[in-house]
Amino acid sequence: MKPFHTNVIAALFGTSLFVPSLSQAEIDPDLKALREEIAQMKQAYEQRINALELRLVQAEAKAAAGPATAQQAIVQQTQPAATQSNSFNPEVSMILAGSYNNLKQDPNAYQITGFIPTQGDVGPGTRGFSLGESELTLSANVDPDWRGVAIASLAPSGGVVMENAYFQRIGLGNGLSFKGGRFFSGIGYMNEQHAHAWDFADAPLVYKAFLGNQIADDGLQLKWLAPTDTYLEFGAEAGRGRSFPGADNNKNGVSQVALFAHLGDDVGVSNAWRIGLSLLSSAPNNRGYQDANSSGTTVSNSFSGKSRLWIADGIWKWAPDGNSTVTNFKLQGEYFRRREDGRLASESVDCGGTCADSFDSNQDGWYLQGVYQFMPHWRFGLRHDGLGYGTVNIGLVNSGVLTAADFPVLAAHDPKRDTAMLDYSPSEFTRFRLQWAHDNSGVGAADKQVFLQYLFNLGAHGAHQF
């Protein structure tokens, strides 16, 4: 018996073709062109049907093997996506994002009081309708040994920022993976995820205050997945510290180092967990920020020294019998602790220009969030996050050269925020989200924020992190 696809092709192309009565000289070129076109169509259909038959065999084998455990899912998502063949070279995808924002406080005056401002935009966005950052992704296997990924962020105001652009070594063996270029650091839990994969419309306060939303450095990364039944991963990174908490020092060598370890496993068939511990060490030089002195004049300050950030993260996932399509629950949290010491310089007429003295701080922060899918396509989530001012010693203030009023951004304050969200995902490529937040990031009246967000995924897109 002929294969199914052979019968289909015979039915499609086995019928006779009607050709009007023409001279032999006119018929021959037309017949030749028709035969070539039919041969091309036949080849294309055979390829598509063969691919469909292969997918059917793989799906039947997967169904026979039973549902994959969460441990297997973690390992599969950790391996480079380069082991999968490309339908196109390169694969192309785009994320379209936008929102409507209703903000009680002026977003232009937003600040996280008590913490040195980051170099990125960490505010709640603009009032009214707003086009979010769209992501354009190009990725492909370069050859059997290497893979390349480029992700460009298209700003709503115009301009393009290269968010990620890295090469990845394929098939090193022994659980090793290696990449270089610009990439999201593997520290913590959320940092390696792209914003469209977050469960809320924005990042927690600890990510805003300590990482400027998210850290992507230029450098190298090496990961090792241990050959154990329990998921165990170690990673190390070396980079130039191009963004906060670094300062792009314009020097040879390494200015920023990251170390991290992750441990995870299953609890029965319905539960899975992962915990992690990370260290990010930077040596910024003249990391600048704007503040206002005691007379209200805008001044430029800068910090030079050492910055060390420790992160502890954890996540627990529950899905009845391992099936997350109907209901599931995810509990996630991270704790950050940062120590910085060095020198803080400030422009001030009281100094006759620029003056500098010692600076050190010990500060922390955390968030805890839970997201519950109560029926197919619908989820509800709650998040509480906050920052601890800790201790901040400003040498220029302690010595009496300047006063605390000359550093209003660093005034003692413990920012806090409560957030609730409801989202609807009619498919894996589309999401609509309603989010409300009560934000006490700055001193004074709290900001009441409402966001209506949309996310659309166009084209091929890889699996998200566990």
Residue 143 pLDDT: 86
Task: Please answer whether residues 179 and 168 qualify as being in contact, where contact means their C-beta atoms are separated by less than 8 angstroms.
Answer: yes
Q: For residue range 251-271, what is the model confidence (pLDDT) as tens digits?
A: 888 999 999 999 999 999 999
Q: Which two tokens stand for residue 242?
A: 């191009």
pLDDT level of residue 21 (50, 70, 90 thresholds) = very low
Q: Is the pLDDT of residue 54 over 70?
A: no
Q: Is the pLDDT of residue 370 over 70?
A: yes
Bridge-based pairing of strands 231-239 and 91-103 is unpaired
Within-domain flag for 156:
no
What's the mean pLDDT in 142-157?
Answer: 88
Q: Is the pLDDT of residue 320 over 70?
A: yes
Within-domain flag for 217:
yes
What's the mean pLDDT in 1-8?
Answer: 41
pLDDT level of residue 462 (50, 70, 90 thresholds) = low
Q: Are residue 227 and residue 338 in the same domain, yes or no?
A: yes
Boundary-marking domain end, from 65, 81, 110: 65
Check: pTM over 0.85? Answer yes or no.
Answer: no
Within-domain flag for 28:
yes
Within-domain flag for 233:
yes
Residue 142 corresponds to which amino acid?
A: V
Q: Which two tokens stand for residue 401?
A: 């050269």
Residue 248 pLDDT: 82
Q: Are residue 61 and residue 183 in the same domain, yes or no?
A: no
Task: Please answer whether residues 105 and 127 qualify as being in contact, where contact means their C-beta atoms are separated by less than 8 angstroms.
Answer: no
What's the mean pLDDT in 315-340?
Answer: 96
Classify residue 267 as exposed, middle or buried by CB count within 10 Å of its CB (0-12, 13-18, 19+): exposed
Q: Which domain holds residue 313?
A: 95-130+176-459
CATH number, domain containing residue 347: 2.40.160.10
The enclosing H or E element of 436 equals: strand 430-440
Residue 12 pLDDT: 37
Picking from 236, 222, 142, the residue whose alpha carbon sits closest to that of residue 176 is: 222
Picking from 462, 451, 458, 452, the residue whose alpha carbon sits closest to that of residue 134 is: 458
CB neighbours of residue 122 within 10 Å: 21
Q: For residue range 399-445, what is the model confidence (pLDDT) as tens digits?
A: 999 999 999 999 999 999 999 999 999 998 999 999 999 999 988 88
Within-domain flag for 150:
no
Residue 33 pLDDT: 63
Within-domain flag for 79:
no
Q: What is the distance between the alpha carbons of residues 222 and 218, in angstroms, rounded to a whole number?
A: 14
Please name every residue paired with 334 in a beta bridge, in sequence order, or none if there are none: 313, 367
What's the mean pLDDT in 58-84?
Answer: 49
Question: Across all residues in the chain, what is the average pLDDT?
Answer: 85
Residue 31 pLDDT: 65
Q: Are residue 46 and residue 186 in the same domain, yes or no?
A: no
Q: Which two tokens stand for residue 62?
A: 């997967």
In total, how many domains does the chain have?
2
Q: Are residue 59 and residue 194 in the same domain, yes or no?
A: no
pLDDT level of residue 69 (50, 70, 90 thresholds) = very low
Share of the chain above pLDDT 90, in %: 63
Within-domain flag for 326:
yes
Q: For residue range 165-185, what is the model confidence (pLDDT) as tens digits?
A: 999 998 788 899 999 999 999
Q: Are residue 296 and residue 377 in the same domain, yes or no?
A: yes
Q: Is the pLDDT of residue 83 over 60?
A: no
Q: Is the pLDDT of residue 13 over 50?
A: no
What's the mean pLDDT in 237-259?
Answer: 91
Q: Are residue 189 and residue 260 in the same domain, yes or no?
A: yes
Least confident of 78-87, 116-125, 175-184, 402-411: 78-87
Q: What is the distance between the alpha carbons of residues 89 and 34, in angstroms, rounded to a whole number?
A: 29
Residue 249 pLDDT: 80
Q: Which residues have a Cβ under 8 Å from the Cβ of 180 and sit 6 or more positions away?
A: 166, 167, 219, 220, 221
More reliable by pLDDT, 5 or 395: 395
Q: What is the distance between the alpha carbons of residues 69 and 264, in angstroms, rounded to a whole number?
A: 12
